[in-house]
Amino acid sequence: MIDKEQIGGQRFGRTTVLPVIGELVAQPVEALVCAANRRGLMGSGDAGAIRLAGGADIEREAMAQAPLTPGSALLTSSGLLAARDVRAIIHAVVNDDLGAPTRLDTVRRAIQAVLLVADEGRFRSIAVPPLGRGTGPDRLSMSTVAAALVEEIVGHLRRSSSRIERLLLIGREEEESRLYTRLLTQARDRSWPEPR
């Protein structure tokens, strides 16, 4: 029987990358990734949902390390989310301030930093939302963000001996899941040929 979660996933080395539709804070993983800004403030969206579910201590920990460098990542505790077996929150610094426009090169550097932090923390499972998508007229499109995330993740997995066993790419709609599935299949075919 095929697990519904496995549909659309691809294996890269020891890591299975899976598109999942749902809320970030509801995922059964050891570390959640959220978009962050230089001040460490957790506004709305996924960061706000993490703060709401995990408590204000998560935001205080991030703010205590400010100012943060765009394109970097930092680790904090998971607060009340520890009761759900979430061990940590990885904050991907993708913009200067709440609501500020996000640049694609910053998102790329931030996801690279996230994966290094995840490997250093020896997390076996992480969930990543579409970092830097944001809101407003200057926002990056879902297709642009998704392509960058998949490219950086696959590149990292090719270059390293990552300990991550399961990496969930979180989407909110079926269309986003299909986009991730298509991009993962293309990346697998292009960058990770089957051994002969």
Q: What is the pLDDT of residues 47-72, one digit of tens each?
A: 999 999 999 999 999 999 999 999 99
Q: Where is average pLDDT lowest: 29-33, 140-144, 190-194?
A: 190-194
Which sequence spans correspond to the domains of the chain? 11-191
What's the fold here for domain 11-191?
Leucine Aminopeptidase, subunit E; domain 1 (3.40.220)
- pTM here is 0.92
Q: How far is CA 131 from CA 20, 30, 36, 191, in A?
A: 15, 18, 9, 23
Look at residue 88 and give its three-state secondary structure.
strand
Nearest residue to 93 (alpha-carbon basis) of 117, 69, 116: 69
Q: Cα angle vertex 160, ends 37, 195, to 5°? A: 130
